[in-house]
């Protein structure tokens, strides 16, 4: 139990990972969408998603060449739902989170095939 708690506390102790969780609070997103919103490269976003997945704070599903991430709605370990509930109700007025939410609205309007197109600036040709 203590190890689960510490694992999740460490996972949410990073600004980028909190931003990712707040974005996933609205809907599932693919790596390219997160890259677009956060203005970060694929390897950076994937590294953070891996840490969140190990902590039980995100789940992923594959659909063709894309991997989509979402918040779990089931208990994965002792505290994952508690951390998700806390994050969901926190930081609603934070300027950076609000800017991310604005960028989220813009990003999801784009065709995912265009957004994740190989060679697109920042996509590194990966999805």
> pLDDT at residue 9 above 70?
yes
In a domain? residue 120: no
- In the numeric block, which tokens belong to residue 68? 């989509």
- CATH number of the domain that residue 95 is part of: 1.10.10.10
Q: List pLDDT tens digits, range 14-71.
A: 999 999 999 999 899 999 999 999 999 999 999 999 999 999 999 999 998 889 999 9
> pLDDT at residue 124 above 50?
no
In a domain? residue 104: yes
Sorting pLDDT into bands at 50, 70 and 90, what band is 119? low
DSSP string, 61-127: EEETTEEEEE--SS-SSSSHHHHHHHHHTS-TT-HHHHHHHHHHHHHHTS-HHHHT-TTSTTTTT--
In a domain? residue 6: yes
In a domain? residue 13: yes
- Report pLDDT for 60: 96
In a domain? residue 124: no
Count the domains in the chain. 1
In a domain? residue 125: no
In a domain? residue 123: no
Tell whether the torsion through CA atoms of 26, 28, 31 and 33 is positive or negative. negative
- Report pLDDT for 1: 86
Domain that holds residue 67: 2-115
Q: List pLDDT tens digits, range 71-102.
A: 998 888 888 899 999 999 999 999 999 999 99
In a domain? residue 89: yes
């Amino acid at each position: 139990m203590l190890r689960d708690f510490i694992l999740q506390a460490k996972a949410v102790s990073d600004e980028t990972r909190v931003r990712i969780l707040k974005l996933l609070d609205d809907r599932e997103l693919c790596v390219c969408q997160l890259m677009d919103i956060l203005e970060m490269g694929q390897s950076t976003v994937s590294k953070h998603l891996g840490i969140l997945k190990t902590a039980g704070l995100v789940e992923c599903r594959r659909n063709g060449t894309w991997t989509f991430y979402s918040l779990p709605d089931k208990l994965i370990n002792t505290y994952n739902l508690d951390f998700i509930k806390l994050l969901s109700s926190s930081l609603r007025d934070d300027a950076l989170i609000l800017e991310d939410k604005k960028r989220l609205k813009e990003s999801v309007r784009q065709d995912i095939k265009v957004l994740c197109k190989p060679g697109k600036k920042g996509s590194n040709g990966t999805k």
